[in-house]
Amino acid sequence: MSTDTQLIDWRDKALQFEQQINQTVIGLQPAVRNIVLAVFARGHVLLEGNVGVGKTTLLRAVAQGLGGDYQRIEGTIDLMPADLIYYTYLNSEGRPCVDPGPLLKHGDTLATFFFNEINRARPQVHALLLRAMAERSINAFNRDYYFPHIQVFADRNRVEKEETFELPAAAKDRFMMEINIDMPGSDTVLDELMFNPRFHDTDQLIGGVTNSGIYYQLNELAQTVQQRIQTSPKLHTYALALWKATHQPQQYGVQLTDVEMPQLLMAGASPRGMSYLIRAAKTRAWLERRDHVLPEDLQAVFPVCMTHRLFLNPMYAYRKEQLLPELIKGILNQVAAP
Amino acid sequence: MRLALILVLSLLGCSGSIDEPVGATGRSPLLVKTPRPFGYVIGDEIPQRIIIETRSGISLQTGSLPAKGQISRWLNLNQVTVKQTGRRYQIDLLYQVFYAPLEVKPLTLPGFTVQLSQGEKSISQNVPAWTFTLSPLRELVVRQTEQGEYMRPDSPPSLLANTQALYGLVASLTVAALIAAYLGYLYGCFPNMLRRTLFKRALRKLAGLSKADMEQALTIVHHALNSLNGQPLFSNQLSEFYRRNPQYLQVSSQLDCFFNYSNRYFFSDGMIAVAQDLQQLRDLCEQCRKIERGSQ
């Protein structure tokens, strides 16, 4: 079978997978599309949203649909890195035992690692996760463990700020996307969520998702997609302009109200961030049945890939909820292609 | 300045006798210079210059000079100037007469005494009274003549030529208006006017291009559309574009084709432009030009 046919087959599977998730978690189509892009581009995902809007359900459904060994951990203030690596207990014969923790339990077949409420964990835990995410390996019991298939899903709610630790910039940068989950807007969906008993029992709902068993082939597939989808020199120019605009938006005519533009940003997008952006854009082009990336692919993934990588000056940080989306929109609206 | 002029004129008109010292011997330190003693009318100013040569150590008591202001019912002293150059004092007095005589009448500028002092001693020098004649402005009886009123105002002065100034004003106002318009253009005050000629300019640029310059041609049309939209326009934003510019809905299929073509040309491989593509591009531009002109 030629690579092109394989890619077409895989695209169908991917779209089918997306459809299935959309049926399980309704009213979150944009978020589901972004998660599917991140999964097929092999990037980690951070979900942010209010409580009870379906973040955890969505991630569990995705993990269930993809198959592969799944682990989850809840972030708490007293969680320490060691808790991820091993746990100690007394067995039934009264002897102390040390067993691998959530990260090591499945060894190199660990697929989806779901970190719930990541901002409740301490910076030490974030640091451990940094390495696991970037290098897909950790050091424990005097040796390195590798997780070639690991994909980290993390979520945090934006309601509470007490007893939470803001994720350091380096940790945020390792996530391919930060996806905001908002309440579904349509009344029909809200009505369905309220009254349809199918959505009341989450476990049963997740159990209904068919395990496609595609997970362990994703790395290879992602590599093929990245190689096969073409980018033209014009697109390179456009992406470069977008990148520069995240550093000096004022040079591209971006103007926000009540903001001294040259003082707005402390840091723009990183090279890693831009490479993630291009990976996601290529994956989107593939899902949209194209063999080349268009500016609209970049535009579609730009907000989710970039918003968490732009750091505002402390002077403006308190308005970041309002300024960052405006800035992203301004950049997309000002940079022309060709 | 005016005073100086009057002084000079008056002194030029002085009679020969003023060159002689008044009522004094050659050694007299006091010299009074006055102008002609006749031909004055009401309102005239009469200058009088007094020059005093003194020995060293002698100084003039300025308090002994007549005070500025009204001297008598018909005489005013308008100005008193004392200038000292070494041992020589030059006192300039400027009188003005307000006497209205019925016929030529002799009048007298009053004399006065100038005090000079040396230490505690003081010396007096008399400035003599000076007589002159004052003439009436008109006859005693006001006559009626055949030509009209005997009393009449002066002919109004002729106006100074101001055509040059007018031309200058018009020219500078024109230049100012042009500069203001250019400044407005630079500041983007005429967006509507510019937006109404977007495709006209694009067509002009397209005219000189061949199919080898397809990239440039596409860029020109993109720029025109971007300027019309106020921000870069991408194919996925077309619906929003039509909402704001509903008149362009009639070329929607052509715009779709244009964006598809442009996407393929710029972002995928293996597109070879043919002459027909350029013609289509021109057609699209023509259509848009008609829409922006309002003729379609």
As averages over each run of 10 residues, the pLDDT of chain A (338 residues) reads 79 89 88 91 89 85 86 87 88 90 84 87 87 86 87 83 82 88 86 87 85 83 88 89 89 83 84 91 90 89 89 85 88 84
Q: Is B219 in Cβ contact with A338 (below 8 Å)?
A: yes
- Rounded to 5 degrees, φ, ψ at A218 are -65, -35
Q: Is B148 a residue whose pLDDT tops 70?
A: no
Q: Could you say which residues from 171 to 230 on chain B have a Cβ atom under 8 Å away from some Cβ of chain A?
A: 215, 218-219, 222, 226
Cis peptide preceding B232, ω within 30 of 0: no
- Give B15's pLDDT tier (boundaries 50, 70, 90): very low
Q: Considering only the beta carbons, identify the residue of A230, A295, A296 that sits closest to B268.
A: A230
- Residue B93 has what pLDDT? 93
* Residues sharing a CB contact under 8 Å with residue B192, sequence separation 6 or more, in sequence order: none
Question: Is the minimum CB–CB distance between A291 and chain B shorter than 8 Å?
Answer: yes
Q: How far is B224 from chain A (nearest CA, A)?
A: 12
Question: CA-CA-CA-CA torsion for B265, B268, B274, B279, nearest 10 degrees?
Answer: -30
Of B27, B35, B23, B15, whose CA–CA distance to B92 is shortest? Answer: B35
Residue matched to tokens 């002689």: B20
* Positive or negative: CA dihedral A130, A135, A140, A145: positive
Substitution target from B219, B267, B268, B271 for chain A, most A beta carbons within 10 A:
B267
What is the value of ipTM here, to two decimals? Answer: 0.79
- Residue B75 has what pLDDT? 93
Q: Is A234 in Cβ contact with B269 (below 8 Å)?
A: no
- pTM equals 0.68
What is the C-alpha to C-alpha distance for residues B202 and B195, in angstroms, rounded to an integer? 11
Q: Which long-range contacts (CB under 8 A, 24 or more apart) does B170-176 make?
A: none
Question: Is the minimum CB–CB distance between A295 and chain B shorter than 8 Å?
Answer: yes
Task: List chain A domain ranges.
Answer: 3-216, 229-334
Q: pLDDT (tens digit, 9 = 90+) per residue, A182-227?
A: 888 888 888 888 898 888 888 888 888 888 778 888 888 888 888 8
What is the C-alpha to C-alpha distance for residues B11 and A179, in angstroms, rounded to an integer? 103
Residue with more model confidence, B195 or B264 = B264
- Residue B147 has what pLDDT? 67
* Residues sharing a CB contact under 8 Å with residue B206, sequence separation 6 or more, in sequence order: B217, B220, B221, B278, B281, B282, B285
Q: How far is A234 from chain B (nearest CA, A)?
A: 6
Q: Is B116 a residue whose pLDDT tops 70?
A: yes
- Residue B2 has what pLDDT? 60
Q: pLDDT (tens digit, 9 = 90+) per residue, A272-322?
A: 899 999 999 999 999 988 888 888 888 999 999 988 888 888 888 888 888
* Residues sharing a CB contact under 8 Å with residue B252, sequence separation 6 or more, in sequence order: B238, B242
Q: Is B226 in Cβ contact with A336 (below 8 Å)?
A: yes
Q: Considering only the beta carbons, identify the residue of A235, A299, A336 that sits closest to B267.
A: A235
Q: Considering only the beta carbons, identify the residue of A293, A296, A335 that sits closest to B236.
A: A296
- A229-334 and A3-216 share a CATH fold: no
Q: CATH classification of A3-216 is 3.50.50.60, yes or no?
A: no
Residue A265, classed as helix, strand or coil, is strand
Q: Where do the domains of chain B lie, and which CATH numbers do they carry?
A: 2-136 (2.60.40.10), 191-293 (no CATH)
Q: How far is B238 from chain A (nearest CA, A)?
A: 12
Q: Is B84 a residue whose pLDDT tops 50?
A: yes
Q: Is A336 in Cβ contact with B232 (below 8 Å)?
A: yes
What is the rounded average pLDDT of the residues B272-288? Answer: 83
Q: Is A334 in Cβ contact with B232 (below 8 Å)?
A: yes
Q: Considering only the beta carbons, identify the residue of B222, B231, B236 that sits closest to A338.
A: B222
What value does the mean pLDDT of chain B take? 82
Substitution target from A232, A236, A297 for chain B, most B beta carbons within 10 A:
A232
- Residue A314 has what pLDDT? 87
Q: Is B16 a residue whose pLDDT tops 60?
A: no
Residues in B touching A291 (Cβ below 8 Å): 268
Fold of A229-334: Helicase, Ruva Protein; domain 3 (1.10.8)
Of A157, A158, A152, whose CA–CA distance to A174 is shortest? Answer: A152
* Residues sharing a CB contact under 8 Å with residue A162, sequence separation 6 or more, in sequence order: none
